[in-house]
Structure 1
Amino acid sequence: MTTNTLFSQAVARMDAEAASFGTLFGDQQAVARNRPRLDPRLLVEAERFLDEIKSGRRPLHHFQEAMSTSDFPLYFADSLDRQMYGAYTATEATWRNYARAGTVNDFREVKRFATTGIRGRLAKVEELAEHKRRAQNMGEYKYSVDKYEAGFGLSFEMMINDDLDAFMRLPQDLAQSAIDSEELFVTEMFADANGPHASFYSGPNDNVLTGNPALTRPALQDAITKLTERVDDNGMPIQIKAVELTVGPGLALAAKEIINATEYRAVGPNGDVTIIRGNGVDANLHLNINYFIPTVASTANSRTSWWLFANPGESRPALEFGRLRGFEAPALYEKLPDMRRIGGGEVPWSFNHSAAEKKVVHVFGGTRVDARMTVASNGSGS
């Protein structure tokens, strides 16, 4: 747009000069007596040159040579040293590793049921005695999905001026916003300002590690042991084969050092040193770095809190995240143009405001399910 504006201004100026061309060069009184008369062939060539510029038949590099870059110091100096920085690297979604993905049919509240009580050790029954009847316990979990949107509008001027394609990636940014919203929503289900969510990680739920230890190899081993020793309401063991360790970026390095260690040395009470090949905790353990934990956990605990989840594909999930059927993925929309050129051809902007609009729509929700399938520590040591 800048190029077109400056070009039009220059052509308009030369057009005004051409209007009085005869006066400038043909009027004897306007010609200095001591200057030689200009060659008429040069006048014809100059008129042809101006006419070709106005009609667009003259190439731009001819125009540049004729006018020189010094006539447009801002435009040429600016365009030779302009570039668009790349976008920030987007965060990767981790919630699928520790929350079960569900699908709901509509916006009404959905219910999820979990039953316990029938499974258990068989009881010995004496001759002619009746067996003991077991009662089934049913847990109910409810949630509904909501619609979330975001969008942007671009004016006609912005689209024309976008010579660096800065607005071409905006739809991609909307799609990434939907991914970020999912991750943040799930993070708010298991974390609050002080670390592990207080209503989910509590003494009655028996899923807070004693003493809130910092993330170390012994503490991680104790947490894995606690999680894999879970039992149901009748004392039957719950088999957990895979475990998901979830931390914020502040603990990423410490977690990787623990998991990637190739040798561990244990010092006994009498000073004996036992060398263990491997770290002893990495089997069926997967690390998730959730970059939204510092956003939710606003206190210093954001750098020390850590969570363990049973893999949701192996057992009953600790969390469920649901999407609307038919809208499982974010949907990008653009407003249909309500204007077209006379003679044919639609344009991507509105008639009244000369603006183009796009938006993203995503529908999701979720709930906490089974507190036994997770343990956590805020890492404070208290």
Structure 2
Amino acid sequence: MTETLFSHAVERFDAESASIHNLFGGQRRVAPGRGGDSLWEHKLLEAQRFMWDIRHNRRPINHFAEAMGTSDFPLLFADSLDRQLYGAYEATQPTWMNYARAATVNDFREVKRFATSGIRGRLEKVGELSEFKRRGQTEKQYEYRVDRYEAGFAQSWESMVNDDLGAFLRLPQDLADSARDSEEAFVTELYCDTNGPHAVHYSSGNGNLLSGNPPLSRDALQAAITQLMKRKDERNNPIVVKGVRLVVGTGLALVAQEIINTTEYRVVDGNGNVRIIKGNGVAANLGVDVNYWIDAVATGANADTSWWVFADPNGTRPALEFGRLRGYEAPALFEKIPDARRLGGGEEPFSFDTASAEKKIRHVMGGTFVDEKMTVASNGTGA
């Protein structure tokens, strides 16, 4: 034992330099306790028994060794043996293909899309020996180009060796998810700006900003769908809309689902009569898309209140077009070719100079807003 009363006692016994009274703290004799012994006499007897056990090998070795705790081994217990790696956040589910038309372009040069009014329209009555009226048509042009987008990472040989949790094995999947997120974010920025519906494309002049910017409700949604389905072309011909998509951010996700899932409405007229309406009146050919990137784009205001209605993009003319490069429609993953080889054979997947490995992803995409008539929106503020 280290620095204990008994070790001092052994040393002093050997040196014969202490009295019994001073050896045990100089305690005064106290009233007799159990058995008639005083406190210091108890300690003296205990010390005598301890010394007797030592001389006759009756004391085990652990009585002379100090107990070892975790603090005595800062290196051995520096790291936990029970470690777990949490997964990365899940990527958002893309929604853009439900309300934007997917296209393929041939190269990086600017592509042009043309829209004409056509000569469709009601026939006109022509009098005897009179000539019919010749019809003309107007045209409109849309342009955009695709660009190359990339991201990647470099990893050292040492980090690969130390990766006992497999933290780096999912990095290529992260790159693939990044491409999917980039598509969704790109299309979102075509119709959404920092304050909700994109101010360049949604306005009362374009006839696609719902009057009064009402919050999302069954009545407001019905008004938006009605406005969309009443569209007319340049010759006042009705535009056929066969399907509608409601697009909202996360702030309106539950509201949108409640509207769609409602199976019964009860209306009370002025006379107090209750009329039960089966169905919600808006669910036919209507789908809901929750776009998480609206919250990231509309950072200024109205992210939680803005909502959009789009006509089916597979119709005659879409509201949005998103294009990819021909032959590279899907994102492509790349790995840098290693330039190191062991003597005797065998390639190393690392750089000869820096002992690092590099990977990247490439995606080529672009797009544009096409037709303001094929969408209606509200910022939901009621202003």
Partner of 2:109: 108
Q: Any residues of structure 2 matched to 1:185-204 within 5 Å, and which?
A: 185-204=186-205
The answer as to 2:294 corresponding to 1:264 is: no
Partner of 1:157: 158
Change over 3 Å in CA distance of 1:80–1:372 after alignment to 2 = same
Deviation string, structure 1 residues 4-48 (Cα, Å, up to 9, x no partner): xxxxxxxxxxxxxxxxxxxxxxxxxxxxxxxxxxxxxxxxxxxxx
Alpha-carbon contact 1:207-1:376 (below 8 Å) kept = yes
Return the letter of the residue paired with 2:149: Y
Deviation string, structure 1 residues 91-141 (Cα, Å, up to 9, x no partner): 000000000000000000000011114010011111111111111111110
Report deviation, 1:170. Answer: 0.2
The answer as to 2:345 corresponding to 1:370 is: no
SS at match of 1:78: coil
Return the letter of the residue paired with 2:238: P
Return the letter of the residue paired with 1:241: K
Report deviation, 1:241. Answer: 1.1
Alpha-carbon contact 1:117-1:134 (below 8 Å) kept = no
In 2, the alpha carbon distance for the partners of 1:224 and 1:242 equals: 10
Report deviation, 1:172. Answer: 0.3
In 1, the alpha carbon distance for the partners of 2:256 and 2:108 equals: 39
Partner of 1:89: 90
Partner of 1:57: none
SS at match of 2:380: coil
Report deviation, 1:202. Answer: 1.0
Deviates more, 1:142-151 or 1:263-272: 263-272
Alpha-carbon contact 1:244-1:310 (below 8 Å) kept = yes
In 2, the alpha carbon distance for the partners of 1:267 and 1:89 equals: 46
Change over 3 Å in CA distance of 1:74–1:247 after alignment to 2 = farther
In 2, the alpha carbon distance for the partners of 1:326 and 1:301 equals: 39
SS at match of 1:275: strand
Change over 3 Å in CA distance of 1:76–1:137 after alignment to 2 = same
Report deviation, 1:164. Answer: 0.6
Q: CA RMSD in A?
A: 1.6
Alpha-carbon contact 1:312-1:318 (below 8 Å) kept = yes
SS at match of 1:302: coil
The answer as to 2:309 corresponding to 1:308 is: yes
In 1, the alpha carbon distance for the partners of 2:169 and 2:75 equals: 25
SS at match of 2:184: helix
Return the letter of the residue paired with 2:130: A
Report deviation, 1:70. Answer: 11
Report deviation, 1:297. Answer: 0.6
In 2, the alpha carbon distance for the partners of 1:190 and 1:79 equals: 50
Alpha-carbon contact 1:183-1:292 (below 8 Å) kept = yes
Partner of 2:207: 206
Alpha-carbon contact 1:348-1:356 (below 8 Å) kept = yes
In 2, the alpha carbon distance for the partners of 1:71 and 1:123 equals: 102
Report deviation, 1:203. Answer: 1.7
SS at match of 1:258: helix
In 2, the alpha carbon distance for the partners of 1:242 and 1:275 equals: 26
SS at match of 2:265: strand
Deviates more, 1:81-90 or 1:179-188: 81-90
Report deviation, 1:278. Answer: 1.3
Report deviation, 1:90. Answer: 1.3
The ranges of structure 1 where at least 4 consecutive aligned residues each deviate by more than 6 angstroms after the TM superposition are 69-73
Change over 3 Å in CA distance of 1:218–1:343 after alignment to 2 = same
Alpha-carbon contact 1:174-1:359 (below 8 Å) kept = yes
Q: Any residues of structure 2 matched to 1:228-239 within 5 Å, and which?
A: 228-239=229-240
SS at match of 1:326: coil
Alpha-carbon contact 1:104-1:324 (below 8 Å) kept = yes
SS at match of 1:362: strand
Partner of 1:124: 125
Return the letter of the residue paired with 2:271: N
In 2, the alpha carbon distance for the partners of 1:71 and 1:351 equals: 42
More helix by share: 1
Report deviation, 1:214. Answer: 0.2
Report deviation, 1:262. Answer: 1.2
The answer as to 2:296 corresponding to 1:299 is: no
Deviation string, structure 1 residues 52-99 (Cα, Å, up to 9, x no partner): xxxxxxxxxxxxxxxxx9998756773531011022121000000000
SS at match of 2:79: helix
In 1, the alpha carbon distance for the partners of 2:268 and 2:255 equals: 21
Deviation string, structure 1 residues 301-326 (Cα, Å, up to 9, x no partner): 00000000001013310000000001
Larger radius of gyration: 2
Deviation string, structure 1 residues 137-170 (Cα, Å, up to 9, x no partner): 1111000000000000001111111011100000
Return the letter of the residue paired with 1:281: V
Overall identity of the aligned pairs, in %: 67
TM-score normalized by the length of structure 2: 0.80
Alpha-carbon contact 1:145-1:364 (below 8 Å) kept = yes
Alpha-carbon contact 1:324-1:363 (below 8 Å) kept = yes
TM-score normalized by the length of structure 1: 0.80
Report deviation, 1:268. Answer: 2.0
Return the letter of the residue paired with 2:302: N
Alpha-carbon contact 1:240-1:315 (below 8 Å) kept = no
Runs of 5+ unmatched residues, structure 2: 1-69
Alpha-carbon contact 1:223-1:308 (below 8 Å) kept = yes
Alpha-carbon contact 2:248-2:306 (below 8 Å) kept = yes
Runs of 5+ unmatched residues, structure 1: 1-68
